[in-house]
Chain A
Amino acid sequence: MHSTEVDTLPQKKRKTSLAIDFKKFWNWRSIILLIVNLAVAGIVLFPLIYAISMSLKAPSEVYQQDASFFPEAPVFSNYIDVFKTAPIATYIKNSLIVAVAITFSQIITSIFAAFSFHFLKFKGSSVIFAVILATMMIPGESVIVSQYIMVSGWGWVDSLRVLIIPFMTSALGIFLFRQALHSFPAEIYESARMDGCSNIRFIITILIPLLRPTIGALAVQSFLGAWNMFMWPLLVTNADEYRTVQIGVSMLNSVDSQSMVLMLAGVVICMVPSLLIFIFGQKNMIKGLTAGSVKG
């Protein structure tokens, strides 16, 4: 109720202090905050900094007793050699196909479903919607045994479709889109229909442009989820040909120094796509996550 007022108040203050009083901005408090944050961010990001630093070391440097934290001379060849040790390019290609396909189809099937719920009134829609929401409670791990037995019975093991098709829709997506359509006036839809606009055309030309922020939020989550998927691809793929990055890289897992630096180079390479998505979609994602947190 009064939350909007509360939200804007401190922000307004921040803006004026930024624009007018630059000197006040650089006061002791903000300098101390900056220093503390530098230290804490260093600790939080430490595993990543460490991985990058190690991946640039020569294998011989790893076991040196007095080795420094950063490599003496960065060895970029690890990033080339890892492609020779394992078919990383195939893994990346597979993961990209899987993640992009899952993201697109989740957006489309969810928009269709949300459209149906919001514009096409029909009997039992609220029950169906409740059932779809309830699926968010089922932890994937608790049905994974039966899912595996089912798809292996179909002979789907070792294919890309087994990595894509089961994840082509998203209950969270349906919820988010329906939420986004909540205040969409029904008159616009009705008048568009009167003018002879088909439902498909209405979705493509009017709804999709309108839903872009939500599409962005879902896209970031879907892509990250698909890219970082582990247990399912571990079960349903055995051939290198269909392996995804997370499984492929974890198979480089080894303790000798030669392969350790290569493994970390592989890990860093596989983080790049998800980090890029995170950096460019960060704002969208925050909206999606906080909306998702409210759920019902």
Chain B
Amino acid sequence: MEASKKPKKFQGNKISQRPLTEKIEPLLYLSPALLLLGIFLFWPFFQTIIRSLHITDNLGRNALFVGLENYIELFKSSSFHNSLIVTIFFVFIVVIVGVLLGFFTALLCQRTFPGIRLFSAAYALPIAIATSGIALVFQVMLNQSIGIVNQILGTDINWLADPTYALLSIGILTGWLNSGLNFLYFSAGLSSIDESLYESASIDGANWWNKIRHITIPSLKPITFFVVVTNIINAFQGFAQIRILTGGGPGESTNVIVYDIYRNAFMNYRYGYASAESIVLFVIVVILTIIIFKVNKGGRINA
């Protein structure tokens, strides 16, 4: 200890010591983050690719190299085709509900009025709500005999057990969950529209609808694109609500990709096959993300 401390006082030594510590130090501060990402993200990701090329035993160990066979089986499987179609429908419902709700509520808070902060908080609130929690609430709301939805609509539908309505119900729930974040994005977009545009439109005699159509909507185009794509990515990852409310059913009517991965891996113990499916999910999400980045560079979403 002492020996290493003393020479520091001399200038000559200081210079020769510096480069070594300076080389190690940056990595020292980076190492917690790098190690964690490496062990818990990159390594499993690499393993997923390898595993997708194998048939595995019940513990997930690679038992037999099969090349692309898992992928070929996947793309031939009617169950996977069904999952893709279900996921696309699901994503469609989620985006429509979530984006329209977020846009409409942001529009309501564009101009100030008494209590605007309270209402803004209310519209953003779904951000804080757990998917599993609200799924349980919806389960009661959609209950055939005592649920409030049938009471209000005067219907007698078993929403979650009917193949026509189950996906719709879960999509609406997920759209509601996303609407809080969408509200914030749209609010940020609306606040950056030049007020004088509206004023000069008023002078020209434009009514409320004309202003929305010709000023608001065109100005929000870049942020709307961003919101839609993030909502699509989000919807591709839905799981808790499906696991709690339908378990992929009735039949396979709500068996979205993530739920199908879960079923193949943890119910059928087909880890290799589920890994191939995971890689397909990854590729879809990466493509969507690249689209955002590409457009983001051209657009100006600096909300």
Among B36, B60, B188, contact of A169 (Cβ-Cβ < 8 Å): B36
A138 x B185 contact (CB < 8 A): no
A62 to B143, CA, bound (A): 11
- Which of A45, A110, A122, A153 has most chain B Cβ within 10 Å? A122
Q: Report 15 cross-chain contacts, Cβ distance below 8 Å, ordered by A residue.
A: A7-B192, A25-B112, A47-B134, A50-B140, A141-B258, A142-B261, A142-B278, A145-B60, A228-B132, A231-B243, A246-B130, A246-B132, A264-B140, A271-B128, A293-B303
A274 x B140 contact (CB < 8 A): no
A278 x B127 contact (CB < 8 A): yes
Please choose the segment from B37-45, B66-74, B163-171, B210-218 that sits at the chain A interface, where 4 or more of its residues have CB less than 8 A away.
B37-45
B26 x A125 contact (CB < 8 A): yes
- In the complex, B4 has a CB within 8 A of chain A: no
Chain B contacts of A141 at CB under 8 A?
A: 237, 239, 258, 261, 278, 281
A146 x B285 contact (CB < 8 A): no
Known: A37-B113, A120-B22, A141-B239. 4 other contacts (CB 8 A): A167-B40, A199-B25, A230-B130, A250-B136
- Which of B133, B136, B243 has most chain A Cβ within 10 Å? B133
Chain B contacts of A140 at CB under 8 A?
A: 237
Given contacts A149-B271, A270-B133, A279-B121, contact A138 B114 (CB under 8 A): no
- In the complex, B64 has a CB within 8 A of chain A: no
B115 x A37 contact (CB < 8 A): yes
**Interface size for chain A: under 10, 10 to 19, 20 to 34, or 35 or more residues?**
35 or more
Chain A contacts of B42 at CB under 8 A?
A: 135
- In the complex, A51 has a CB within 8 A of chain B: yes
A285 to B120, CA, bound (A): 14
A290 to B296, CA, bound (A): 13
- In the complex, B240 has a CB within 8 A of chain A: yes
- In the complex, A33 has a CB within 8 A of chain B: yes
Please choose the segment from B77-85, B88-96, B176-184 that sits at the chain A interface, where 4 or more of its residues have CB less than 8 A away.
B176-184
A236 to B64, CA, bound (A): 26
Chain B residue, CB-CB nearest to A296 = B293
- In the complex, A89 has a CB within 8 A of chain B: no
B48 x A41 contact (CB < 8 A): no
Given contacts A147-B44, A231-B240, contact A277 B128 (CB under 8 A): yes
Chain B contacts of A63 at CB under 8 A?
A: 145-146
A116 x B30 contact (CB < 8 A): yes
Chain A, range 241-296, C-beta contacts under 8 Å to B: 246-247, 249-250, 252-253, 255, 257, 260, 263-264, 267, 270-271, 274-275, 277-279, 282, 285-286, 289-290, 293-296
Chain B, range 117-141, C-beta contacts under 8 Å to A: 119, 121-141
A278 x B128 contact (CB < 8 A): yes
Distance (whole angstroms) from the CB of A289 to the closest CB of chain B: 6
A33 x B128 contact (CB < 8 A): no
- Which of B34, B176, B193, B233 has most chain A Cβ within 10 Å? B34
B30 x A142 contact (CB < 8 A): no
- In the complex, A155 has a CB within 8 A of chain B: no
B125 x A45 contact (CB < 8 A): yes
Given contacts A3-B192, A145-B261, A290-B303, contact A138 B282 (CB under 8 A): yes
Among A147, A228, A296, contact of B130 (Cβ-Cβ < 8 Å): A228
- In the complex, A209 has a CB within 8 A of chain B: no
Chain A contacts of B136 at CB under 8 A?
A: 249-250, 252-253, 263-264, 267
Given contacts A30-B114, A50-B141, A143-B278, contact A137 B30 (CB under 8 A): no
A290 x B184 contact (CB < 8 A): yes
- In the complex, A96 has a CB within 8 A of chain B: no
- Which of A14, A112, A139, A282 has most chain B Cβ within 10 Å? A139
B191 x A294 contact (CB < 8 A): no
- In the complex, A235 has a CB within 8 A of chain B: yes
- In the complex, A211 has a CB within 8 A of chain B: no
- In the complex, B47 has a CB within 8 A of chain A: yes
Given contacts A50-B141, A246-B130, A294-B301, contact A137 B285 (CB under 8 A): yes
